[in-house]
A and B are shown apart, each in its own frame.
Chain A
């Protein structure tokens, strides 16, 4: 009976979304205050009912209710409790419910933290989000209902959660990624509301910026977690595979990054307005594309959910309606947008334009590489595959140019900067980074490698230009300590995120160039050398987990002849699904990871095949991402937003409107 309540709550949430999509938006167009005021309570209602759906589905998992199809397919009586609960997002139906629940959570946040915005704007934003929610819920009810029952006979036991998903990262990676993905719907809704009201001004950009920042932080975190998970769970020692399902979040991330920078220009200088709106639409389209690719079976990949063409048609129709509709709206409204100022050929605006162009080109190239096999098959009926060489050949040069521009951008001034000033600031920094970037790896490794040198020169360039800019800001003030403490949070956040990129460049460059690996067959007692390390295999012992059995190996690692530590990689068989799984053993370090995967036992377990890896600086890739995330949060918390919000509110309470009278649609 309980799952039927879930079904009922889902239908109620759908009805509320339909009202939210129409009533407040019409109210905003007609100036009907009562109708507009429905937006906030409706959003809260949708959140409550979807939360109820989540609780009910979670309850079905915890109580092993295998009469629910989704539970039967993704759980098992032996599954540990934390995975029973998180199995909600372990399959298509449940993860879609979770996705929609996230959207309603963002809606609730918007309705709470929008007190300073005019009510007609809030009504339109929530109206757009309500429309999206209605579409998602309809999709669930029509094609992928998580509350569907198995009739007439329920199975005795479930078929278990995919063993690769039974891992700590599975508990946090999907929620983080979804928060980011769905967060860009909010920025999209702001853009559409602005287009509808014809009010594309600095205030709109200022309202959007913290939301864009927070969504971006979640997406950055989600991507980093996914990459870390792939690294230690899938056991191939890499951190990014250009998998067709990894690419859409990256496309969204690249567009989202471009959007954050473009929003800054729109807010500060009143230019790039129509471009910013377009980016907001595209970033949202990227997030929908990810959903479409994962859930329609369009591209085959390790991430693909069980696919069904009717689902694909539905999602594609929905994308067509939302993205197509908003692009038409954009085409009609964009010509009316006027830029408020001009800028010279050398100025921060131009550098940010370069940033935008590079990021958009990168996003478009990844999109092309991801979809090209499909387009090619549609035209020629032939199959091709596009792999890492294509993506690396395009993304690496773009990243190089981007890093060079990034060093110049923050030093530049708005509106116009003289070349002489730039040279005086940057010449010595450029020389220093060239010298350090070439010499440091040369002295450490005693050999020259062009790709390492380029990577390190860029990293030093970023470290030094960031340092130079911070020092400039502090030294120019009489009281240096005071100056350091009063640097605005948005400035600190920016520099922290840029610093994170430099750290990531170091990690990517060094791990790509200096990784070592070796596949060996070792009998107990044998050992093997790799780099400065000696790995001695001391045999295996059987282990039993809650829902698996397996073997655990003991490997003693000696560094330069001295005992360092033991590693224990495992080979598991998950009993319910009879699927094998390998658990790596990793010795993580700031400067290098040691990494062992256990293969197959030979001769009745006397000898085992295994692969050993040394991955230098791999942690820097994720450390960089963490720094970027912290930078994004810092920037979103800038006091400026709160001060201006308070001002907006005072103005509105005084009965004035901050911006010109809204146009009606």
Chain B
């Protein structure tokens, strides 16, 4: 009397369960192992204000910060003063990835709030974001002198996060070099 089709739901469920069990042990807040100490992916994208094409070669010499932002992103406004201070004091170069945004809105946002970025590339369809494994704005990557990704920070980079996480990480980079 048993019919196999009635076992289909439990089989699908079992497969899902196995994936969830594996998923449990993946820590998605940290950078995936494949990207750590790897060079940034290649890109060729337009700059938000000037519409000139920029690529990986235009990036400043490291260490620098790569910040994923968007005009729609409220937490970005929270971390924005930190970036303004860092750029005004010349602490570290910052490059922006304007993630899944509209150019007009992004320009308005920079005009309204101030621009801490050397430049911002427009990642309108989120391609570069996909290559970097970005969940959404804000996220900040620390890139070292050799252009390798050294650290990924998911969520707001406020003064506290800067002092407690980034300052030691950058000092660590400098120690490595010397």
> What are 15 A-to-B residue pairs whose CB atoms are below 8 Å?
A309-B24, A324-B14, A334-B6, A335-B2, A374-B26, A377-B26, A377-B28, A381-B34, A385-B130, A385-B134, A385-B135, A519-B71, A521-B111, A599-B77, A599-B113
Interface residues of A in 232-248 (CB under 8 A from B): 234-236
Query: What residues of A have a CB within 8 angstroms of the CB of B135 in the complex?
Result: 300, 383, 385
B32 interface residue per 8 A CB criterion: yes
Partner of B22, one of A335, A378, A597, A609: A378
Check: A559 CB closer than 8 A to any chain B CB: no
Give the number of chain B interface residues (Cβ < 8 Å): 47
Given contacts A382-B133, A599-B77, contact A300 B17 (CB under 8 A): no
Does A397 sit at the interface, judged by CB under 8 A? no
Cβ of B1 under 8 Å from chain A: yes
Q: How far is the CB of A599 from chain B (nearest CB, A)?
A: 5
**Minimum C-beta distance from A646 to chain B (A):** 37
Query: Contacts A316-B20, A374-B23, A385-B135 hold; do A331 and B32 have CB atoms under 8 A apart?
Result: no
Give chain B residues whose Cβ lies under 8 Å from the Cβ of A381: 32-34
Q: How far is the CA of A327 from the CA of B6 in the complex (A)?
A: 9
Chain A residue contacts of B108, Cβ below 8 A: 518-520
Return chain B residues, CB-CB under 8 Å to A328: 10
User: What string of 1s and 0s marks CB contacts (under 8 Å) between A373-414 and chain B?
Assistant: 011011001111101000000000000000000000000000
When the two chains form the complex, which single residue of B9, B81, B113, B154 contacts A327, counting CB atoms closer than 8 Å? B9
User: Contact: B112 with A520, CB < 8 Å?
Assistant: yes
**A236 engages B28 (CB within 8 Å):** no
> Which residues in A have their C-beta under 8 angstroms from that of B34?
381-382
Q: Is the CB of A384 within 8 A of B81?
A: no
Name which residue of chain A comes closest to B9, CB basis.
A327
| Cβ–Cβ contact B7 & A319, under 8 A | no
Looking at the assembled complex, report how far the CB atom of B163 sits from the nearest CB atom of chain A, in whole angstroms. Answer: 14
**B154 contacts A378, C-beta separation under 8 Å:** no
Give the contacts of B99-122 with A (CB-CB under 8 A). Answer: 100, 105, 108-109, 111-114
Q: Assess whether B161 is interfacial by the CB under 8 Å rule.
A: no
Find out whether the CB atom of A316 lies under 8 angstroms from the CB atom of B24. Answer: yes
7 cross-chain pairs, A with B, having the tightest CB-CB distances, nearest first = A383-B133, A327-B10, A521-B112, A374-B23, A331-B6, A378-B22, A312-B24
Chain B residues near A334 (CB-CB < 8 A): 6
Give chain B residues whose Cβ lies under 8 Å from the Cβ of A609.
Answer: 77, 112-113
Contact of A336 among B1, B13, B109, B113 (CB under 8 A): B1
Find out whether the CB atom of A371 lies under 8 angstroms from the CB atom of B16: yes
Which of A291-299, A531-539, A548-556 is near enough to bind chain B? A291-299
* Interfacial residues, chain A to chain B (CB-CB below 8 A): 234-236, 274, 278, 281-282, 285, 292, 296-300, 309, 312-313, 316, 319-320, 323-324, 327-328, 330-332, 334-336, 371, 374-375, 377-378, 381-385, 387, 518-521, 580, 582, 597, 599-600, 602, 609
Chain B residue, CB-CB nearest to A299:
B28
Contact status A331-B9, CB under 8 Å: yes
Residues of A near B154 (CB, < 8 A) are: 300
Additional A-B contacts beyond A335-B2, A384-B133, A520-B112 (14; CB < 8 A) = A281-B9, A298-B24, A300-B135, A313-B21, A316-B17, A316-B20, A332-B2, A374-B23, A377-B23, A377-B32, A378-B26, A382-B32, A385-B130, A602-B114
> Known: A236-B74, A519-B109. Is A320-B2 also a contact (CB below 8 A)?
no
Q: Shortest CB–CB separation between residue A570 and chain B, in angstroms?
A: 14
Q: Restricting to B1-47, which residues have a CB under 8 Å from any CB of A? A: 1-3, 6-7, 9-10, 13-14, 16-17, 19-26, 28-29, 32-34
A521 touches B74 (CB 8 A): no
- Determine if A330 and B9 form an interchain contact, defined as CB atoms under 8 angstroms apart: yes
Q: Complex Cα distance A619/B33, Å?
A: 45
Bound Cα distance A458, B70 (Å): 34
- List CB contacts (< 8 Å) of B137-174 with chain A: 154
Residues of A within 8 A of B81 (CB): 600
* A605, B130: Cα distance in complex, Å: 38
